[in-house]
Structure formats: structure tokens, C-alpha cells
Chains A and B, each alone.
Chain A
Amino acid sequence: MTRLVVGPFNRVEGDLEVTLDVVEGVVAEARVTTPLYRGFEQMLVGRPSSDALVIAPRICGICSVSQSMAAVAALRAIGGVEPAENGVIAANVAHAAENIADHLTHFCLFFMPTSPGRPMPAVPGTRRLSSASRRPRAARRRSICRRARGSWR
């Protein structure tokens, strides 16, 4: 058995490590590790509850509004308050805008450069099961730049 530790990964928002146990050229076991601990929950203890509205969104730079919405839902539940109807609509619109932006970011920035045409990077010591074509590296690079520029103007 060979153990492979894969990382650092490109085009993920966050920290991720994959450990593969390879037996006779085939992955026998795959484990995912997040090699980052921050302890956000501890930071909120003892603060005014409304501080969650400042701290929670800063958990993530790409899903800040979702984190805020979760904090708001928790605060509402604790306080037993009914939100104003227009307030719910405004928050939902902001949340939807973030959701759209996230899909575009994920698709154009993280996903598109890998596909189509570029097979997943080879993991040393494993057999590739698909026979997807490989384009020359320079062509791939031009392609990512063009797509990225096209997407973000």
C-alpha cells in the first residue's frame, strides 16, 4: 500500500487535504481533512447577541450573506420575534443575489478552467481509468485567461 497526501489544491475556497491509500494502483481509501481550525463559536460567547451579525458573516468571504441569514434566523428564534414582511423580502433578495454571484464565481472561476478538455490531474502511483485527451499546457493557460476575462470583463 502506498499513502499519498494530496494538496495544496487549486480553485477551492477553503482549506482541504486528501489522503489516498493506494493498493495495486487503485485507490482503496480516500480521506478528506480540513487542516484549519478557527474557533468562531468561542468568539461569540459572552458578547451581545447582535454581535453575531458582525462576526458570523466573516466566517467566509464567499458566502457571507448566507452566514448572516443563519445568524439572523438564530437570533429571531431566541428572541421570538416576527420579522417585518418587507424585511424578509429585502434579506431574501440580498441572499438570492449572493447565491447567483456564488454560482457564477464557482462555475467561471473554479470549475470552467478544468473542464472541458482538461482531465483531472494525475495522482502519482495511480492508474488513470479514463482516457480524456490532454491539451498542451499553453493552450489550457490561454483558455483559462480568456474565460476568466470574459467572465469578469
Chain B
Amino acid sequence: MAVLEEGGRGWFRALGAAGIDLIWHPSVSLETGEEVRDILAAVESGERPLDILCVEGAVLCGPDGTGRFNRLAGTGRTMMDWVRALAPRAGVTVAIGSCAAFGGIAAADPDPTDARGLQWRKSAAGGALGSGYRSRSGLPVINVAGCAPHPGWIMETLAALAAEEIGAGDLDAFGRPRFFADHLAHHGCSRNEFYEYKASAERPSDRGCLMEHLGCRATQAVGDCNQRSWNGGGSCTDAGYACVACTAPAFEDVTGFLATPKVAGIPVGLPSDMPKAWFVALAALSKSATPKRVRENARKDRITVPPGRSEGGK
């Protein structure tokens, strides 16, 4: 569903431009029932080549390792079985979304269905296919993480794969394409000025930075979320919703998403590569230097103090 929002020309044209022939997708394909079973059988037997296998959703391995919490309708077989049958045939295997990548929300405690990603179970290598799995191209599963992933992440990954432009070096430690995973969700956030001065929102709908009190994890979450537009404009943080780090394995295991955990008043989840002492010192300094405009607006649901006329280098 996410990828339908891809670009101005639409997903179908984007696929065509990348030279990708969609074999079957449950939401958009005409083939149904027996026709689908024929396609799946032809791919499984190797009669029909499979260049890219995309899997959406966690692989539910329960109950008791049978996988029967999720059968593929009409086939009498589990999705776990189908994934394991088709993955060895695939030129490359792509997990679309954090569930297929790591288990995601489906694996949230108490993980009722033994939900696993294709090659990861939360932060541990393994998953439904095992850590040793490699597709025919020699690549591990490519994880287009995110809940939901940006349509551009999906389509650009597919296009790059079709052009054979993704190698092992283009993936991060969790198999995520680096073109979006080398960024942090925080980069380009429209609340940037509030972050700089630690002028923080205290209630939902306040305009200030969401990190100090409202649980925002954008300084730790990978993704170029704030350098793209979502659904035509904006992002989670732009809309006033704290980043829940949905691109991270085990993001679902946080309890209290919308409040920042603190020890002695200092947020526990600081930017991963920032020394804590520095953060405390910088935060104190910047708070003392915060302009009235920034401090006032941070705790309002609209701008009440506009930039002064003398500002702007006149």
C-alpha cells in the first residue's frame, strides 16, 4: 500500500521504467485463485525465473514452529513454508517493512505468533530463513525497514536492484540500504531550531522539539524521513508526532512510546554518537541562550512570537 504513493508518475510506470515485470501482487494483479497457484508452482519448480522476491509482513512461525498462524489461502501451506520454498529461487530477496525485516509490531511482547523477520529476529541474526541464507545473487535479505517504509525507499531499492547497483557494501549492519539508512530521521527536521536550543514541547501539539519530553527518537533512528515528503508533504515529526524509530529492529519493544525515559532529568536515549557529558553541557548552554521567540513558541500550538523585524541582518 505504501508504494502506491510512489512519485508523480505512479508506481506502475516507475516499475515499467525500471524494467520490472510484476509477476504477482495480491493487491494489484488480475490473477486469482488457481491462476496464482499455477504461478507459484512454476516459480517454485524453477520453470519461471524469479529475479526479485518481495515479502511483506512478518513470517509467523507459531504455534510451536508450525507456521500455521498464517496460511496462504487456497494452498494449504503456511507462509513460512512458501517463503522458505521461494527464497532459494530468488535472484534477490527483499523484506518490505519492519515486520518482514525484523518481526516488527507483529513480534511485540509477548510475541503471540512467534513472528520473525526473514533474516532477523528483532536485533538477532537468524529469522525465518536463517543467518546463512543468501539469494542467488549472493546478497543477504535486503531490509527496506520502516513502519511504513517510505514509497521511495521501496521503489528506489527495487530499481537499483533491477540495475544490479546494490552490493553488500551498500547495506548497513542490519541489511538496510544505506541510501536511506546512512541518514538519521532527525536530519532536516522542521523543529531543528527548537532542538538546537533544547526548547522542548511539553504537551502534544506544542511546536517545540519532541525529544526531551515526548519520546522522539529521531536522533537515533535511521532514515532520511525529514528529507523526503510523506503523502505529498511533511513527516511524523513535522506533524507533531514523536519518531518511534520504526526503522530499527525491536522498536516495538519500547514501552511508553510517547514519553522520554530519563535518569536524573537527562534523557536516556541521547544521540548514539554524542558523549553524555557534552550533551548535558551543551543543553545547559543553549537553554540559557534561547531567544524569547523560540522559548515561547516551543510551548504553544501556533506561532505567538514571530521573528523580529530587526532580525535577518538588516
Determine whether the beta carbon of B73 is less than 8 Å from that of A39.
no
Interface string of A122-153 (1 = CB under 8 A from B): 01100000000000000011001100110011
Q: Is B258 among interface residues, defined by CB-CB distance under 8 A?
A: yes
B306 CB–A CB distance under 8 Å? no
Inside 8 A of B112's CB, which chain A residues have their CB?
37-39, 42-43
In this assembly, does B54 line the interface, its C-beta being within 8 Å of a C-beta of chain A?
no
Assess whether A7 is interfacial by the CB under 8 Å rule. yes
A-side contacts of B110, CB under 8 Å: 42-43, 45
Tell me if B12 and A152 are in contact (CB < 8 A). Answer: yes
Q: Decide: A7 near B73, CB < 8 A? Known: A50-B257, A58-B105.
A: yes
In angstroms, Cα B252 to Cα A84, docked, is: 30
Contact A48 B255 (CB under 8 A): yes
Interface residue? B162 (CB, 8 A): no
Number of chain B residues whose Cβ lies closer than 8 Å to a Cβ of chain A: 48
Known pairs A7-B72, A10-B36; A113 contacts B12 (CB<8 A):
no
User: Is B13 interfacial (CB-CB < 8 Å)?
Assistant: yes
Quick check: is A6 within 8 A (CB to CB) of the other chain?
yes
CA distance A21 to B85 in the complex (A): 30
Known contacts A12-B26, A42-B110, A110-B27; decide if A35 and B33 are in contact (CB<8 Å).
no
User: B1-26: which have CB < 8 Å to A?
Assistant: 1-2, 4, 8-13, 26
Say whether A27 faces chain B, with CB atoms less than 8 Å apart.
no
A39-B113, A43-B108 given; A15·B70 CB < 8 A: yes
Residue of B whose beta carbon sits closest to that of A145: B12
Decide if A61 touches B1 in the complex (CB within 8 Å).
Answer: yes
Confirm or deny: A78 has a beta carbon within 8 angstroms of a beta carbon on chain B. Answer: no
Least Cβ distance of B149 to chain A in Å?
11
0 or 1 for each of A98-116: is its CB under 8 Å from B? (1 = yes): 0000000100011001000
Closest B residue by C-beta to A52: B257
B-contact 0/1 string along A15-58, CB 8 Å cutoff: 11100000000000000010111110011011110110111001
Contact of B12 among A33, A35, A148 (CB under 8 A): A148
* Cβ-defined contact, A144 with B70, below 8 A: no
**Do A7 and B74 contact each other (CB < 8 Å), given the known contacts A55-B105, A55-B108?**
yes
Contacting residue for B34 out of A15, A54, A124, A145, CB 8 A: A124
B169 at the interface (CB under 8 A from A): no
B45 at the interface (CB under 8 A from A): no
At the interface, yes or no: A11 with Cβ under 8 Å from chain B? Answer: yes
- Most B CB atoms within 10 A — which of A8, A36, A51, A145? A8
Contacts of B258 in A (CB 8 A): 50-51, 53-54
Interface 1/0s, chain B 125-156, versus A by CB < 8 A?
00000000000000000000001100000000
> Which residue from chain B places its CB closest to the CB of A137 in the assembled complex?
B30
Report yes or no: B36 in contact with A8, Cβ–Cβ below 8 A. Answer: yes
Q: Which of B1, B12, B74, B113 contacts A17 (CB 8 A)?
A: B74
Given contacts A35-B73, A36-B69, 12 further A-B contacts (CB under 8 A): A6-B33, A8-B37, A9-B33, A10-B29, A10-B36, A35-B71, A38-B60, A38-B115, A39-B112, A48-B256, A55-B108, A109-B28
Q: Which residues of A contact B (CB under 8 A)?
A: 5-13, 15-17, 33, 35-39, 42-43, 45-48, 50-51, 53-55, 58, 61-62, 87, 105, 109-110, 113, 121, 123-124, 140-141, 144-145, 148-149, 152-153
A-B contact pairs, 9 of them (CB 8 A): A8-B36, A15-B70, A16-B73, A36-B60, A38-B115, A50-B259, A51-B256, A54-B257, A149-B13
